[in-house]
Homo-oligomer: A and B are copies of this chain.
Amino acid sequence: MDAESLKPFFSPKGVAVVGASQDPTKLGYGLSRNLVQSNFQGVVHFVNPRGGGLLGRLMYPSILETPDPVDLAILLIPAKSIPQALRECGKRGIQAVIIAAGGFREIGPEGADLENKCLSIAQSYGMRLMGPNSVGLLDTHLPMDATFLPPPGPLPGDVAFISHSGAICAAVVDWARGQSFGLSRLVSLGNQADVSETDVLRPVAADPFTRVLTLYLEGVSDGRRFVSEASQITRLKPIIALKVGRFTSGQRAVASHTGALAGQENAFNAAFRRAGVIRAETSEEVFDWARTLAWTAPPEGRGVAVLTNAGGPGVTAADALESYGLYLSRLSKSTQKELSAILPPAASINNPVDMLASASPEQYAQCLKIILNDPEVHSVMVILPPPPMYTAGAVAKTLIPVIHHSDKPVIIALMGERLIQEAVEHFRAARVPEYRFPERAASALAVLAKRAEYLRRAEQPPITFNEIDKEKAKILLEESMTSKSGGFISQEVAEQLLGIYGISTPITHLARSAEEATRLARQIGFPVALKIASPNVPHKSDVNGVLLGIDDETGVAKGFNHILENVRTNVPKVEIRGVYVQQMAPDGQDVIVGAVQDDQFGPLIMFGSGGIEVEGLKDIAFALAPITAEETEYLLEATWGGRKLGGFRNLKPADCLAVQQAIQRLAQLASDFPEIAEIEINPLRVMGEGQGVLALDVRARINHK
């Protein structure tokens, strides 16, 4: 799986096109033509059993007959012929193969068998496979266009596009060309029989021309490996992902809120957050954001100045900036003074700075220069509707040197279409991001600010507590797994697990008689709770096996007998070990903390509101387990249940530190034992500051293997 083995895909010395065709309607023609016309400097061989010539070259009847060097083969032949061709590639010593054909896993079991067969052949020769169902790959700087997409290919640029969908590649290349927007590399992964999105991240990121990686994902092949690879890249180059299939949540057996609410989406969000991957919600956002991330430096903060020649678009921009979590910088007195010196009296020298419709190209440039010098301004949006007195192109020309001279990002809202074409061309050539409407410019500025914050945030290792006796927990779990109770371990065992991981539960002792219960209650301190102790009763209150808030000894003695009576009446056959005498928890705020094993990303930790809000409001947030300190804080900030722990109006602040530790400890438990399919503390009672937390109830389900 080493990146070295993928080298022939990205910088082949020689390429053999198997299934090259003279018929212009065939993909075998299209790819051959693209390869030649893209001005690829390596060797190109065409292979077709019928021989003949193509684009001035002879066609070889077999791959075996192609002369050196050939390290990459592209197969444009039908599915059924692929295995034989792969064997020949192997014999020929080719190291990398792209399969364009469909007719594999996507058509059902038969196709999947064929795909597996192809993979084993490739593996037996040590060859790497891209596809099947790949439209190919291209590099505009090498250059090499090894796709069968209709020409022309994309312009050279600095954004790489990696896609699970071939049709999206076709659309993106065509759309980008229409937008005069360049790409550096494009990789169509198809079925990913071998090479996956994660595999290509590193080689694509290594390309010096690529400044931003964009991904169209339908899933990931190995969640944790994706996170690990992406994390290393995002420190250097941004990755933007459009993850589709949001509402096709996987089927899984769930028995807790955590399980029910941990959809694929929450897992992806947690993983992207950890890896620093920026998630786009729409296709347009991907490329809107990519341009700004590729062309501008990250700003030092969220303060934005808006420079406009009209009030309306300025207000629209201000609205959009605020809605994206940015704010309008307060301009200093000296900035305002400088602005008023060159603007008419009716102009607005507050932010948004409105120069009025008469603004000349020089005024645009001078004002921008003044604004960029204000330390409160971290980035600037310049608004340019078709100016009534001048051309937008003239404004662009005077603005560009000012923009290039500053370290702060400047983005243009260039409103209109025909009257601004010249300006569009100037800005694109100068790599200054421009958008048709202020709203989209604001969205790009917001992503830029987030990227800057990510880069400023130091990398943090996940938190682990070393004093935890993992071995003890392991033995406990192994013992519990020999017994059978529908996958659930008993609450007693679950509480012991929490105890080993340092999460407090209420003091509980087992009483076998009313006298013993009374003595234990005295020892614990009143009030106490009584609960039936039976391995066969998962829902104690359903059988009237619980009494809360007992204030005195008489109550305990009576309660002990009462509970035994209730349970014997309601479920006569269960084993009764006695009655638990339990400390009553002090008042506090209730939250929920859970963990679940995700198919793609392994252990996830969840935090949210206690009570019915967790489901009713979906007031929850997820992170990968084990969890970092920053992620723990995020869980609290992202939820109302977490925010109000800090106190709100007449609600007193609760012990946030203890909650954070409980989250981190439960995450460590889930990460240590992947066999715990779900574990949930609901509620976790959070007492006042310095008073700690108590896990009042815990349920855990084990995956018997």
Contacts and interface: CB of A to CB of B under 8 A. Distances in A.
Interface of A: 25, 27, 102-103, 106-108, 148, 150, 163-168, 170-171, 174-179, 216, 218, 242, 244-248, 281-284, 309-313, 315-316, 318-320, 322-323, 345-346, 356-357, 385-386, 388-389, 415-420, 436-440, 612-613, 615-617, 640, 643-644, 648-651
B165 A311 contact: yes
Contact of A322 (B165, B178, B247, B640): B247
Given A171-B385, A244-B312, 9 more contacts: A102-B356, A166-B357, A167-B310, A167-B385, A174-B417, A174-B418, A174-B420, A175-B417, A281-B323
A692 to B, nearest CB: 23
B244 A309 contact: no
7 contacts: A102-B346, A167-B311, A170-B388, A281-B439, A284-B439, A613-B640, A616-B648
Contacts of A438: 283
A87 to B, nearest CB: 25
Contacts of A106: 311, 346
Contacts of A346: 102-103, 106-108
A527 B449 CA distance: 58
A168 B163 CA distance: 37
Contact of A283 (B102, B242, B439): B439
B319 A246 contact: yes
A314 to B, nearest CB: 9
Nearest to A413: B171
A290 to B, nearest CB: 15
A113 to B, nearest CB: 15
A648 B617 CA distance: 11
Contacts of A640: 613, 616-617
B244 A319 contact: yes
A472 to B, nearest CB: 36
A343 to B, nearest CB: 13
Nearest to A163: B312
Contacts of A436: 175, 284
B313 A165 contact: yes
Contact of A309 (B167, B315, B440): B167
B312 A164 contact: yes
A654 to B, nearest CB: 13
Contact of A107 (B282, B345, B649): B345
